[in-house]
Chains A and B, each alone.
Chain A
Amino acid sequence: MIQQIVNGILLGGVYALVGVGMSMIFGIVQLTNLAHGEFVILSAYLSTVLCTNLGLHPLLTLIITVPLMFVIGMVLQNLLINRVMARGSEPALLVTFGLSIIIQNTLLLLFSADAQRMVTSFQSLSVDLGPIKLPVLQLLVFGIGLVVVLLLDLFMKKTYLGQSIRATSDDKTAATLMGVNVKHTYGIAMGLAMGTAALAGLCVGMPWTFYPTSGSQYLIIAFGVVVIGGMGSIKGTLVAGLVFGLAQVLGGTNYGMLVSYAVLLIMLIVRPQGLFSK
């Protein structure tokens, strides 16, 4: 039982990382990014390619994937999404849906439908702590998730750029009156969200196999995390990730996903605004 709870918590850290980028875009840009799952899987493929072709250690691929995804995010927001958002939120939603289909099929074309996985040297190592075992790989991805979410929260509260992002999500017009360029801010927010997707891609690509179509699976997890945590709340995302991960592990192999979605449904009934939304 203790082992299961530990496993659930470790899984939750990764789920928080998968959800945090989507939550940011929800809260700040007020956009439902249906391509978030594909961004995660795209990053997993990027890391895999860098691993196999350049012989880089999976962790070192982050040096390339995170900045690359950040730039792609900014360009995408500035050239495409900002423009369609001027016509309302539905067109922007459809654009992200279109992007998800394009990415999925491009990956299918380039990598075929075969399962992929990044192999690491510490794949099967684990730390023994008496009654519980901590697999090193799970511990690592949990740690990455935790650190990234906490750093992001700190960035939002302690820097002018972070503050301007929070202000924009509170009141766009008032933020512009303080000198904030809203479109530019949206670009940064999307860049950051894509950066977290790059990290999430590595963190799901090391422990589990993935396919070009795995994006939708992670999109649904991200949705769950965003709803439970409260849209746009970064710390809420962390707690929601843990709740979602725990529910899945405690539900067992057969009913794991069922239990976590039952938790999601109960949340929607009891507290639709999420755990940390005011």
Chain B
Amino acid sequence: MSEPILKVEHIQAKYGDFLAVSDASMEVPAQQVVSLIGANGAGKSTMMDCVAGVHTPTSGKVFFKGEDITGLPAHEIVTRGLCLVPQGSRCFVRMSVEDNLIMGSFPKAARAHMKDSLDRVYELFPVLKEKRNDASGSLSGGQRQMVAIGRALMTRPELILFDEISLGLAPTIIKDIYARIKQINQEGMSVVLVEQDVKRSRKASESCFVMLKGRVVLSGPSQELSEEAIKNAYFGI
């Protein structure tokens, strides 16, 4: 098997004195979909923040494409081809949909491809083209997630992390967004899905990592892990 695109080794992360992640490791093989499952407060988002450079881990290492990126600031990590779609979409609400997307091509290497990337995002989410001049703050929750995904794609990443993309969305919209993520993956991008929903994420991914109270307690190929086993790990039974 080839070198994994992302390798997280024994990460520990704190907020002040609070230990959010005590010992977490995971690997993402290139061009695969990997899901990180866990309940609220299990440390999933903190772990993703550490990978993307939004938060600095107190110990442990993060390797991306074989290079140590631990502790690099987020604005440098994105230029290397790793982009996080943060929880709650976090669009630039006072900017138009198109300006949000154009911000995604801010990294220098992405600028030359701005027009192509924009066309591709509009192809993936036609509704965004219709609403391209609207302020993103006026969009529905699902459309905002599409803006956030589109914006991340504009940075031309090789690995994209989705932090609870389905949170608060209607089932039909979630289904649609998951279909798009599958499409993105088939075009060659590696994907990490952070989810609370065991069934959906197991189905959508090739391998699973389950977190409980700041630790990765179970991992393996999605097909080999039963839903039952994942649920037991999830609840710590």
Contact = CB atoms under 8 A, between A and B. Distances in A.
Contacts of B83: 177
Given A160-B111, A173-B74, A174-B92, 17 more contacts: A157-B99, A163-B103, A166-B92, A167-B95, A170-B93, A171-B91, A174-B86, A174-B91, A175-B103, A176-B53, A176-B73, A176-B74, A177-B75, A177-B86, A178-B104, A178-B155, A179-B107
Where chain B touches its partner, the secondary structure class is: mixed
B84 A180 contact: no
B52 interface: yes
A176 B103 contact: no
A87 interface: no
A160 B112 CA distance: 12
A177 B106 CA distance: 10
A177 B92 contact: no
A123 interface: no
B137 interface: yes
Contacts of A173: 54, 74, 86, 90
Majority-rule SS of A interface residues: helix
B79 interface: yes
B118 interface: no
Interface of A: 157, 160, 163-164, 166-167, 170-171, 173-182, 278
Given A160-B111, A170-B92, A178 B73 contact: no
A170 B73 contact: no
Contacts of B215: none
B39 to A, nearest CB: 24
B146 interface: no
A163 B93 CA distance: 13
Contacts of A166: 92, 94-95, 99
B213 interface: no
Interface of B: 52-54, 73-75, 78-79, 83-84, 86, 90-95, 99, 102-104, 106-107, 111, 135, 137, 151-152, 155
A181 B54 contact: no
Nearest to B161: A177
B139 to A, nearest CB: 14
A278 to B, nearest CB: 6
B53 to A, nearest CB: 8
A171 to B, nearest CB: 5
B78 A177 contact: yes
Given A164-B103, A164-B106, A167-B103, A178 B78 contact: yes
A12 to B, nearest CB: 25
B79 A179 contact: yes
Nearest to A277: B94
Contacts of B99: 157, 163, 166
A167 B92 contact: yes
B132 to A, nearest CB: 15
Contacts of B93: 170-171
A164 B103 CA distance: 7
Max count, chain B CB within 10 A of own CB: residue among A167, A176, A177: A177
Contacts of B151: 178
Contact of A179 (B78, B91, B137): B78
A164 B91 CA distance: 13
A179 B95 contact: no
A167 B95 CA distance: 8
Given A160-B111, A278-B137, A177 B52 contact: yes
